[in-house]
Structure 1
Amino acid sequence: MNNTSVEKNLANKTVFPILFAISFSHLLNDTIQSLIPAIYPVIKHTFSLSFSQIGLITLVFQLSSSLLQPFVGLYTDKKPQPYSLALGMSFTLTGLVLLSLSANYHMMLLSVALVGLGSSIFHPEASRIAHSASGGKRGLAQSIFQLGGNAGSSLGPLLAAWIIVPYGQFSVIWFSTIALLAIIILTFVGNWYKGMVGVIKKNSHSITAISPFSKRKVVFSVSILLVLIFSKYFYMASLTSYFTFYMIDKFHVSVQSSQFYLFVFLFSVAAGTLIGGPVGDRFGRKYVIWFSILGTAPFALLLPHANLFWTTVLIVPIGVILASAFSAILVYAQELIPGKVGLVAGLFFGFAFGMGGIGSAIMGKLADETSISHVFFLCSFLPLIGLLTGLLPNIEGDRKKIKSNK
């Protein structure tokens, strides 16, 4: 077997150990990130913060984790950086230590900015590695990668309830061991990726990087996808940042109990993550996007009117259905713009985080002026924006037409 055949086999083989390693690293990364909103009830009391100040913490965190992502992705598309993931986690580790030691509000803003910076380096290149290890099963690879992140996000509230709420803000420093473990794993992943860079470059040159659609159609479709991301992450921000306060305010549950309700939602998000990618691979990503965002609407509209029992029930399908969108949207966009995996990943991860941050800041301000319940009522209409999915082209159908014409 010659070198070209070996390289083709490597490029077309799904490398599950790397996918699981990068997914587990995503779990560790997002566990650390999820500690930030999970400790909001603790720091709100300790520092006497308003909802607007809580929203500003989320805004700083999300913007620092979003603005750089497209540029990181664009750069690594041209010059892959195998060890950038471990470097990014080092920023996260520094931010985590500072967060545990923060004695004032401004120091807290700096610490979450560093955690966000680590995330902005991690996501585009990690998504590229998942794509490289997919063996053509891109939806499955992105779902495995996303599953780790969403599982990590669901662990944050539990860890906060068990450790941070009883032992206070300084106990955050114990989670630095998670960042250290992630650095070790990401160094191993970097070693594999370093050996694959040449193969990936050759393989990418052999695949046409021309979209089946006009530039105008691509721009229009990407704009629709970004609007869908806006609706998803504005709504997600209302749940991840303020769901604990909503439960405390409306149902008078304890701080610890509110963390468990947040865990139920975030665990549902993790459980639903694996659906979107593989189903999109098989039946078409547009159908998954339709179901994921618009399918959330009836449950979201019922949520503000539900009692404690039905609130607990409703957040499960909301989390499961909403979670299936992102992998499908990301791979759909990568197929619209072939050859720009890192740029697309950076753009969409960055935009998602940015929308979450802006949404959290706006909703915090609105909650101060009205109430948390009013914010949840207004946000319940956001999933209806999913109707715009009907304007997206059917990529799979158009590709079949192109192949038949050839």
Structure 2
Amino acid sequence: MESDSVSKSAQVHADTSFYRRALYTFSGAHFLNDLVTTGMVPALVVMYKHALHLNYTQSTLIVLVSYITSSVIQPIFGMLTDRRPRVWLFSLGVFLSISGLALTGIAPSLGWLLLFIAISGFGSGVFHPEASRGTHFASGSKKGLAQAIFQVGGNAGQAFGPLMIPLFLIHTGIHGLIWLIPIAFLSLILTVPLLRWLNGKVQAGTKKKTIEGENNIPGVIMLILVIILRSWCQIGVVIFLPFYMSHLSIQASETLNFIFVGAGALGTLFGGMISDRLGMKRLLVVSMFLATPFALILPHLHGVLAVLDLLFFGFSVLSSFSVSVVYMQKLLPKNIALASGLSIGFGVGAGGIGSVFMGGISDVFGVATVFTILSVLPLIGAIISWLLPNEKTLGKTA
């Protein structure tokens, strides 16, 4: 009996120590994945255009293919892996996302370029559901904090992606992307050792006859609306800020975008840290409501005041990013991977589609009208968040 007690104690200690290792591995892999997909791909469009002599329509196909393969169909991967988990997709996904982008450096034509972009996007699409499921298993009772650590990795990758373009390619041109191949193999060294642990968690979960809690479809629909509004707001600022502040240089505009997204990464971490105490619904409402005044005054500010506003705007509007993932998992306790696909992938994809819609508005009414629309999106999101069911009434996830 004593040896059994010692054995159980040792196992608990091992699980506790491996919890941190797993969590930071998921976050690190998320950084590498989003660095090359949502971070570098949009910033590389100009270089692809010049290297392959593309027109604007052909150039937009690059982003469209990337968004469709990496984000829009991510919920489909989530549904498939909920029925039959495939933990190896975690490692394969991040490997394909990096190596696919690396191969675009030697693409001889638009067709080959789109194929390699699709491979990279596909890798990102299959990576996210399994990585988010693994974060769920590794989180223990601190769901919000764990998901925040995971999401900060992705947000940091998005922020640093554009900054890598001049640093990495200034001397090599587009062909220098092929040197990302060693990083792709490095990702395997980082992720493969975790597969045995992840498979054990998945197998333990499938042995349970029932999963506590029922799927709340009305709540899912409302939360998806909030995620879409937040994504439109985020991507709208990133895409249209350089056009709106056309008096600034491209480098200055990219710096402002980095400030906005970087502040959002800090907000994501902070939101996850306090959500386990404050409550997820309350944090969603407060964060979206606080973002509203900063969104309203942004078009009227310049210089240092604009920088400060972007800091507070990004921090507040994205502080609910990781919380919405955990909230969706509570609303869909029987479909954890699908919940991740809806809250992460679909949100990003919807933002890309929304950017096209806002682009049409800017062509007709001007960029200033886009920023007027962006200023009211957080307020609408706050109202819808207030209508969400309280997470304490949703039952427990597995």
TM-score, structure 1 length as denominator?
A: 0.85
Contact 1:276/1:324 (CA < 8 Å) preserved in 2?
yes
- CA separation in 2, counterparts of 1:127 and 1:99? 27
1:123 pairs with 2:128: yes
Amino acid at match of 1:395: E
Q: Quote how far apart the aligned CAs of 1:155 are.
A: 1.0
Match of 2:173 in 1: 168
Match of 2:200 in 1: 195
Q: Quote how far apart the aligned CAs of 1:20 are.
A: 0.4
1:114 pairs with 2:119: yes
Q: Deviations for 1:314-340, whole angstroms, at most 9, x for unmatched residues?
A: 211121112211211121121222232
Seen in structure 2, the aligned counterparts of structure 1 residues 375 and 71 have a Cα distance that, compared at 3 Å, is same
Amino acid at match of 1:190: L
Match of 1:21 in 2: 25
Seen in structure 2, the aligned counterparts of structure 1 residues 397 and 79 have a Cα distance that, compared at 3 Å, is closer
Match of 1:256 in 2: 251
Seen in structure 2, the aligned counterparts of structure 1 residues 242 and 106 have a Cα distance that, compared at 3 Å, is farther
Q: Quote how far apart the aligned CAs of 1:66 are.
A: 2.4
Q: 2:105 aligns with which of 94, 100, 106?
A: 100
Q: Deviations for 1:72-96, whole angstroms, at most 9, x for unmatched residues?
A: 2223223222211122123213421
- CA separation in 2, counterparts of 1:74 and 1:244? 38
Contact 1:55/1:362 (CA < 8 Å) preserved in 2?
no
1:149 pairs with 2:139: no
Match of 1:60 in 2: 65
| Sequence identity (%) | 35
Structure 1 stretch 191-200 or stretch 84-93: which is displaced more? 191-200
Seen in structure 2, the aligned counterparts of structure 1 residues 127 and 259 have a Cα distance that, compared at 3 Å, is same
Contact 1:55/1:361 (CA < 8 Å) preserved in 2?
no
Q: Quote how far apart the aligned CAs of 1:2 are.
A: 7.5
Amino acid at match of 2:116: S
Q: Quote how far apart the aligned CAs of 1:103 are.
A: 4.8
What is the DSSP-based 3-state SS (H/G/I as helix, E as strand, rest coil) of the residue aligned with 1:312? helix
Amino acid at match of 2:385: T
- CA separation in 1, counterparts of 2:25 and 2:379? 36
Structure 1 stretch 55-64 or stretch 284-293: which is displaced more? 55-64
Q: Quote how far apart the aligned CAs of 1:22 are.
A: 0.7
Q: Quote how far apart the aligned CAs of 1:172 are.
A: 2.5
1:209 pairs with 2:212: yes
Which protein has greater RCO, CA pairs closer than 8 Å, 6+ apart?
1
Seen in structure 2, the aligned counterparts of structure 1 residues 59 and 222 have a Cα distance that, compared at 3 Å, is same
Seen in structure 2, the aligned counterparts of structure 1 residues 398 and 87 have a Cα distance that, compared at 3 Å, is closer
Q: Deviations for 1:291-326, whole angstroms, at most 9, x for unmatched residues?
A: 222221111121222223332222111211122112
Match of 1:360 in 2: 355
Seen in structure 2, the aligned counterparts of structure 1 residues 388 and 55 have a Cα distance that, compared at 3 Å, is farther
Q: Quote how far apart the aligned CAs of 1:399 are.
A: 6.2
Q: Deviations for 1:90-112, whole angstroms, at most 9, x for unmatched residues?
A: 32134213322345544443333
Q: Quote how far apart the aligned CAs of 1:12 are.
A: 8.0
Match of 1:340 in 2: 335
Amino acid at match of 2:106: L
Amino acid at match of 1:31: L
Aligned-residue CA RMSD (Å): 3.0
Seen in structure 2, the aligned counterparts of structure 1 residues 331 and 125 have a Cα distance that, compared at 3 Å, is same
- CA separation in 2, counterparts of 1:41 and 1:242? 16
Seen in structure 2, the aligned counterparts of structure 1 residues 25 and 179 have a Cα distance that, compared at 3 Å, is same
Match of 1:278 in 2: 273
Q: Quote how far apart the aligned CAs of 1:113 are.
A: 2.2
- CA separation in 1, counterparts of 2:297 and 2:58? 29
What is the DSSP-based 3-state SS (H/G/I as helix, E as strand, rest coil) of the residue aligned with 1:338? coil
Seen in structure 2, the aligned counterparts of structure 1 residues 335 and 398 have a Cα distance that, compared at 3 Å, is closer
Q: 1:390 aligns with which of 374, 386, 394?
A: 386
Seen in structure 2, the aligned counterparts of structure 1 residues 106 and 243 have a Cα distance that, compared at 3 Å, is farther
Seen in structure 2, the aligned counterparts of structure 1 residues 178 and 194 have a Cα distance that, compared at 3 Å, is same
Match of 1:180 in 2: 185
- CA separation in 2, counterparts of 1:93 and 1:343? 24
Q: 1:298 aligns with which of 281, 293, 296?
A: 293
- CA separation in 2, counterparts of 1:241 and 1:310? 20
Q: 1:237 aligns with which of 235, 238, 253?
A: 235
Q: Deviations for 1:56-82, whole angstroms, at most 9, x for unmatched residues?
A: 433321121124322322232232222
Match of 1:135 in 2: 140
Q: Quote how far apart the aligned CAs of 1:182 are.
A: 1.6
Q: Quote how far apart the aligned CAs of 1:368 are.
A: 4.5
Q: Deviations for 1:116-150, whole angstroms, at most 9, x for unmatched residues?
A: 11111010100000011111211111111101111
Q: Quote how far apart the aligned CAs of 1:200 are.
A: 3.5
- CA separation in 2, counterparts of 1:341 and 1:3? 33
Q: Deviations for 1:187-239, whole angstroms, at most 9, x for unmatched residues?
A: 1221321233333334x55x75223xxx7xx2221111011011011122223
Q: 2:318 aligns with which of 315, 320, 323?
A: 323
Structure 1 stretch 262-271 or stretch 157-166: which is displaced more? 157-166
Contact 2:212/2:395 (CA < 8 Å) preserved in 1?
no
Number of aligned residue pairs: give it: 389
Counterparts of residues 44-59 of structure 1 (less than 5 Å): 47=53, 49-50=55-56, 55-59=60-64
Seen in structure 2, the aligned counterparts of structure 1 residues 373 and 388 have a Cα distance that, compared at 3 Å, is same
Seen in structure 2, the aligned counterparts of structure 1 residues 242 and 184 have a Cα distance that, compared at 3 Å, is farther
Match of 1:31 in 2: 35
Structure 2 portions without partners, runs of 5+: none
Structure 1 portions without partners, runs of 5+: 401-406
Q: Quote how far apart the aligned CAs of 1:369 are.
A: 4.7
Match of 2:220 in 1: 222
Amino acid at match of 2:247: F
